[in-house]
Chains A and B, each alone.
Chain A
Amino acid sequence: MSESGTPVKEEKGQAEPDTGTPLVEMRGITKRFGGLTALNEVDLSVGFSEVVGLVGDNGAGKSTLISILSGALRQTRGELLYKGEKVDIRTPEDAKELGIETVYQDLALADNIDVAGNLFLGREIGAYTLGPFKFLARKKMRQKAREVLEVLNIGFDSMRTKVRNLSGGQRQAIAVARSIYTDPDLVILDEPTAALAVEESERVLDLINDLQEQGISVIFISHTLQEVFSTADRIVVLNQGNKVGDLKPEETDMDEVVKLMIGGRYDNGSE
């Protein structure tokens, strides 16, 4: 795929932010599982280089919403626009092809493989190929892995350390580094700080800012409102499958967001 792809985001010359067209638009997204309505006519847009924090109580539909965008689920109704054009995202591969990368909550790393191996999983660099056998260019991959991680300001002692022996923050960094290797427009992070200590969480939030500086848009789910307020450009609040808030952090406060997250729970029973 991107044999020579550099980790550093370069100028892309595509639709500029100032034309007003957002990078991604989800319009009227409804998702039903049998009789259960997980999402009800939800709109979500993400601008170029914008960081959107997605919040909501358990079962609010956050994961469902991003699963639709990342190709893991398909919406029952509603449409997706990418750079102003209508798109159909049927599989995770479709999403990747558009430029949407997803870092899953469990990170999807192979614990028994080293740092470089995980970074290049599925797109190994070969030294030479013999029939069905592609011989790994290990040294080159270690060197490239080091470069990618340096861009993200994450230090690793060795590219040969097995991922199992790393801290939660380091693991998260590898998963993020892997997601940006293909030069995406948008990275979706599903609860990136849920399993981390405070200090490591801060490093991951720094990482989100780094992505933004490189011109990458980010959607991230979090349960910690402080993180969302300090990192996001916009906060989208879901409640029982409905979008109940789309706010700028500087124009709101945590009380309001919490009220939106839990509010209207009992008077919204009309089907």
Chain B
Amino acid sequence: MVLNRDWRGLIANYGIYIGFFGLIVALSLITDRFLTFRNLLNVAEQASLISIVGIGMTMVILMGEIDLSVGSIVALSGVVTGGSLTGGLGLPISLLIGLGTGLGLGLVNGIITVYGEIPSFIVTLGMLSVAKGLTLLYTGGKPVWGFGDVFKFIGGGKLFGIPLPVIIAACLYLLALVILNFTQIGRYIYAIGGNQRAVRLAGVKVERLKMVVFGVSGFFAAISGIILASRLASAQPTAGSGWELDAIAAVVLGGTSLYGGEGQLAGTLVGALIFSVINNGMILTGIPTFFQYVVKGGIIILALLLDKKLRQS
């Protein structure tokens, strides 16, 4: 295949969007059940929770770090919120406790990574286990349930016919996009991924910012966990298991470099949507769902191989 430089660059930069579009066209041609409003909403809803986790993950990865604890934080913040609710603490306080749990554990990740000077891979791997253990200790391994209708509305409700989780995810993306692309803090997040020492020498409080971003990642995981508990009308101790990898997959498929400094939040959203579309398409076309793991993994590897080949020349 002979492509000139410009085309290669174009495909390398926008390949994910082209791929996403191609996938939608292909599925629309294969099955007429795909391109319906109802089904597309379904796809969006499926993608919403992982993509919310993906926002924090994108910020962390842009700084050249990683957060493996988000899946466990999803579960812990879910059961803590659920437990507070059933314990009679009321919705606002329960939500605060749940969100605070995510934010707090994220900040702990950040503090140990930054001030303990331990790689975030190790710190958050440890936190993955700690949060999982805390979840099991808190629940005794049993799901928490028996929530009121108001709480269930968060994950199960609709606004103008659109599921609330989709609206929440969209709002959070908009907010994060603006921060990352137009503010000083966003600039620093990218610059830290490019050359942390340079940013520090420029007088920026790099340590504090990194700590906060880890906190934000935990916070977004908590939002996701609370929505999940609400949608299922029960907080499962095993919820969110493996989501850290799904989120990382969406970030990487979205074109963000694991080395930091390069990437776009919009790519993460499309990455999460692609996985959701594939999942949906396989169900619609009757392919056994166990295949999805194989397909998902294959897509990530192929996409990155292609990206590398296109950028090499």
Contacts and interface: CB of A to CB of B under 8 A. Distances in A.
Interface of A: 92-93, 104, 108-113, 117-118, 121-124, 126, 132-136
A136 to B, nearest CB: 6
The 5 closest A-B pairs by CB, nearest first: A122-B202, A110-B194, A112-B194, A112-B261, A108-B198
A208 B217 CA distance: 46
A123 B203 CA distance: 9
Nearest to B181: A136
Contacts of B194: 110-113
A122 B204 contact: yes
Interface of B: 179, 182-185, 187, 190-191, 193-195, 197-199, 201-204, 261-262
Contact of B184 (A109, A110, A136): A136
A121 B191 contact: yes
Contacts of A132: 185
A218 to B, nearest CB: 19
B190 A113 contact: yes
B195 A109 contact: yes
Given A111-B195, A136-B183, 9 more contacts: A110-B198, A121-B198, A121-B199, A121-B202, A123-B203, A126-B184, A133-B183, A133-B184, A133-B185
A161 to B, nearest CB: 14
A210 to B, nearest CB: 23
Contacts of A136: 182-184, 187
A104 B191 CA distance: 18
B203 A110 contact: no
A104 B201 contact: yes
A202 B198 CA distance: 26
A137 to B, nearest CB: 10
B182 A124 contact: no
A112 B193 contact: yes
14 contacts: A104-B201, A108-B201, A108-B202, A110-B190, A110-B198, A111-B194, A111-B261, A112-B193, A118-B198, A124-B187, A133-B184, A134-B185, A135-B182, A136-B182
Contacts of B203: 93, 122-123
